[in-house]
Structure 1
Amino acid sequence: MIFPGKGGEMMVTAIILLRVERTKVNDVAEKLADTEGVSEVYSVSGRYDLIVIVRVASNDDLADLVTEKMNPIKEITDSETMLAFKAFSPHDLEAMFSVGM
């Protein structure tokens, strides 16, 4: 899905689910959080360890992020990438998650 970015430009949004070596979750999360194109990183319970929200300008940029930035992180043991088609929430998620910070 292409969503407006902060400056009004359209962005591709992807949700990436990651399984990570048990003792390296925080290290991987911090590394990904500092990666250009990564909007948010969440540690979660369940089958996956991290959820990564990516917002980039194009599908090519998404492919580069996954293959050039994420693939070399050896502590990532499995991943599933989903493209967002349509946003149904009227909320500004960035504003919601920055409350009190």
Structure 2
Amino acid sequence: MVTSIILINTDRNKVNEVAEQLQSITGVSEVYSVSGKYDLVAIIRVRSNDDLADLVTKKMRVLDGITKTETMLAFQAYSRHDLEAMFNVGM
């Protein structure tokens, strides 16, 4: 499993539209609108680097309104949320 965090800038009037389009792409796990330097953050979870490349270069690239992205690969997860979900299975 490959997890990636993509920081996204959009046209000012298209933040919500872009977020909704991103959310509908298979492999996009979560999309957050955020404050600061970027408009959106997308969490991507796919099977392989090839799947990630396909998602970014073929599916995201054609979305109208994205002006800039920065893609980061996650090496290891340190998530209390994931740990709590794992330990609560069956309880």
**Shorter-chain TM-score tier:** 0.7 to 0.9
Aligned residues, how many?
84
Provide the rounded CA distance (Å) in 2 between the counterparts of 1:26 and 1:53.
Answer: 16
TM-score by length of 2: 0.87
Indicate yes or no: 2:26 matched with 1:70: no
Percent identity between matched residues is: 67
Deviating beyond 3 angstroms after TM superposition, the runs of 4 or more aligned structure 1 residues are: none
Show structure 2 runs of 5+ residues with no match: 86-91
TM-score by length of 1: 0.79
Give the superposed CA RMSD.
Answer: 1.3
The structure that is helix-richer by fraction is 2
Show structure 1 runs of 5+ residues with no match: 1-10, 96-101
Q: Is the 8 A contact 2:22 2:31 kept in 1?
A: yes
Greater relative contact order, per chain length (Cα 8 Å cut-off, separation 6+): 2
Max Rg structure: 2
